[in-house]
Structure 1
Amino acid sequence: MERDNFATLREQAAAGDQDAVGQLVELLAERGDMAELRRFADAGSRDAEDLLVELAQEREDVDELRRLAERGNQDAADILTELAQG
């Protein structure tokens, strides 16, 4: 059933349903699917970008945080600064 729901959300998100996008990025974050979150963030989803920053911070993924900071994400830049200060 979860797979069907996931597929339905993908279809709705692809059709521009922003509620579906929000639900889908939440599920992706729960799964820890950084690649798919990145895809949504790159397509303009602020929610996906925020969740990607959170996951990257939890995983101490400096490369992802740096990528996000270079794209202008201030939260990612702040986390990088904190990590550098130890």
Structure 2
Amino acid sequence: MTNFAADRETLRALADEGNEKALDRLADLADELGDLDELNELLDEGCERAGRFLTRRAVAAGDLRELQRLHDAGAEEAGDELDRLLEPDD
């Protein structure tokens, strides 16, 4: 990726104008840096990719409450994972 695409300020400006690819790229960067605050902010802005990254982390940690919070915040995948984890073992 070229340098101009990695400029967070530029990505933020594009995302603020409604560019979903820029929003997704911000989520990628936040995930790479382990910046959970940024991922949560991006989820609040409607970024599905941020929700997927946060869901993946919550599943890995076995954090059912976080999965419920993520689902309530609009991350549908978190609800699916929560249901899967709550299913009884047969």
Q: What's the TM-score, normalizing by structure 1?
A: 0.70
Q: Using the alignment, how far apart are the partners of 1:60 and 1:31 within structure 2?
A: 21
Structure 1: state its 5+ residue gaps.
Answer: none
Contact 1:34 1:55 in 2 (8 A): no
Other-structure match for 2:26: 24
Q: 3-state DSSP class of the match of 1:50?
A: helix
Please name the residue that 2:77 is paired with: 75
Identity of aligned residues (%): 33
Q: CA RMSD in A?
A: 2.5
- Taking the aligned partners of 1:46 and 1:56, their CA distance within structure 2 comes to 15
Which runs of 5 or more residues in structure 2 are unaligned?
Answer: none
CA–CA distance in structure 2, aligned partners of residues 77 and 33 of structure 1:
22
User: When the two structures are superposed, what TM-score results if normalisation uses the length of structure 2?
Assistant: 0.68
Q: Contact (CA 8 Å) 2:44, 2:73: kept in 1 or not?
A: no
